Amino acid sequence: MAPMNQTSVTEFLIIGYSGIPELRSLLFALFFLVYFVTLVGNATVMLVLHKEPTLHTPMYFFLRNLSFLELCYSSVTVPKILSNLLAENKSISFAGCATQMYFLLCLGTTECFLLAVMAYDRYSAICHPLQYPLIMNKRLCQGMAAVCWASGSLLSLGNTTFIFTLPFCGPNVINHFFCDIPPVLELACADTSFNEVTTFVICVVILLTPFVLTLSSYARVASTVLKMRSVEGRRRAFSTCAAHLTSVSIFYGTASFMYLRPKASYSLEVDKLLALFYSVITPMLNPLIYSLRNKEVMAALRKLGGKMRFAPQL
């Protein structure tokens, strides 16, 4: 490849839904509804957890972080998807594509580590209840959350820089809903095998390490819960952990299948469907999974709703 042709692409065209133009209005309405529910749901959880003093505990501190993360995660992709559904010009600048990929990877990586931290919190609360306030003190919780966010930022910065320093000289059409790693790598005008191996190794570390830690924590939790004599105690412990396990299964399952499967089994349509699920649907589901099944959160929500209802009369 001649040097003059290196990195001549200044923008990309995103055409993830090009095969179904007649469904554009329906897709716009669907994505808009999902995005609205995501914003309202996660913002409500954040507000309730912030306003209710009884919920200022480590578990809800991490849940507040997760809700903020999901709100941002959805905002990285859905507004651009909505814009492309309405606009004739479906382009995104080279820098814009790199920025979108960075935040997508940053928030996804942070969520992997955050879910593992939340599993450790449940392990500490159930397996070491007497030492729990000392183990999960405020300083440690803030430090663990900071490490999750910092790790996500640094790992994603390196991976994104590694990809976008490749030469891109055309074509520039991304057959996807947003700038994700596999469809962007396909457009590079160079051998990307080293990038693919490096990305795979990074994804193994990011996905499997927290997943193993999460499973280890819940294996110990299950062992402890099964030894409890109180039926009500077992029910409450399993109920608390069930929500987290549901979220973990959805997120790790879809992300692992997408980034850790062999390239030979890569399917563009399956990839697009999975990407939409973990980047658009999962952020909407988490407030429902964690909140509607949680009596404390629902009680705090009703309490806050009552205060807002009678506020004008005060």
- Residue 131 has a pLDDT of 92
Over residues 115-166, the pLDDT tens digits come to: 899 989 988 988 888 899 999 999 999 999 999 999 999 999 988 998 998 8
HSE value, Cβ hemisphere, 13 Å, CA-based, for 232: 0
- Residue 110 has a pLDDT of 94
In the predicted structure, residue 314 carries a pLDDT above the cut 80: no
In the predicted structure, residue 78 carries a pLDDT above the cut 70: yes
Distance CA 98, CA 273 (A): 21
| CA neighbor of 70 nearest in space, from 196, 245, 304, 247 | 247
In the predicted structure, residue 92 carries a pLDDT above the cut 50: yes
Indicate the CATH number for domain 21-313.
1.20.1070.10
CB-CB neighbours of 292 under 10 Å: 12
Over residues 163-189, the pLDDT tens digits come to: 998 899 878 898 888 998 888 988 998
Which tokens go with 50?
Answer: 């912030």
CB-CB neighbours of 216 under 10 Å: 14
Task: Provide, rounded to the nearest whole percent, the portion of the chain with pLDDT above 70.
Answer: 88
| CA neighbor of 49 nearest in space, from 251, 312, 299 | 299
What is the pTM (predicted TM-score) of this model? 0.86
- Residue 5 has a pLDDT of 44
CB 122 within 8 A of CB 247: no
> What are the domain boundaries of the chain?
21-313
Listed in order, strand segments (DSSP E) in the chain are 11-14, 91-93, 173-174
CB 189 within 8 A of CB 170: yes
Higher pLDDT, 7 or 91: 91
Distance CA 103, CA 249 (A): 22
Higher pLDDT, 298 or 45: 45
CB 111 within 8 A of CB 210: no
Angle CA 140–141–145, to nearest 5 = 115
